[in-house]
Amino acid sequence: MKTTFRILLLSALAFLALEGLMLTRSSSHLEAARKLRSTGRILESAREYQSCIGFSAPWNPFADSAVRELERLAAREKTKHPQLGDDLEDRLIRSIRGTRSFYQPYRKTLNRLMARRGKSP
């Protein structure tokens, strides 16, 4: 019984440490993306958003924010610079698809983006 408890305790601690690392990393990427976006460095900003999304995990509000912000940025840029807007949308689609494991996070956003392009997710 003691061994089982220790294994469960160590597993829980490892999970919490990993989740903490992911939250810390995604937070720093989101902050960097926002700074770059505010200075007009759009593509560099998009790369930071993509990195943040890559740290997607349950209960990670930073990755959720990155998805929303990159989608808004793509829509905004599409009105001024259609090619850049399309590139940003492509980056968002690839980032969302890259988070897939046993389920697909951000499925509604992915479906919406793919529908705009006339494709199925």
- Asked whether residue 90 is assigned to any structural domain, the reply reads yes
Q: What is the pLDDT of residue 121?
A: 61
Say if 80 falls within a structural domain.
Answer: yes
Residue 54 lies in a domain: yes
**Angle value at C-alpha 104, between 77 and 88, nearest 5 degrees:** 15
Residue 50, in any domain of the structure: yes
- Using one digit for the tens of pLDDT, what is the confidence trace for 82-107? 999 999 999 999 999 999 888 889 99
Q: What pLDDT is stored for residue 77 in this prediction?
A: 96
pLDDT 10s digits, 22-47: 889 999 999 999 999 999 999 999 99
CB 96, CB 68: distance < 8 Å = no
9 has a pLDDT exceeding 90: no
As given in the structure block, the two tokens for residue 68 are 């929303």
Domain ranges, residue 90: 2-116
User: Where does the pLDDT of residue 5 fall: very low under 50, low under 70, confident under 90, or very high at 90 and above?
Assistant: confident
Task: Please give the tally of structural domains in the chain.
Answer: 1
Q: Round to whole Å and give the CA distance between 103 and 62.
A: 19
Task: Identify the weakest region by mean pLDDT among 17-21, 54-58, 95-99, 102-106.
Answer: 17-21
Residue 22 lies in a domain: yes
Residue 118 has pLDDT above 70, yes or no: yes
Residue 1: pLDDT above 90? no
Separation CA 23–CA 59 (nearest Å): 9
121 within some domain: no
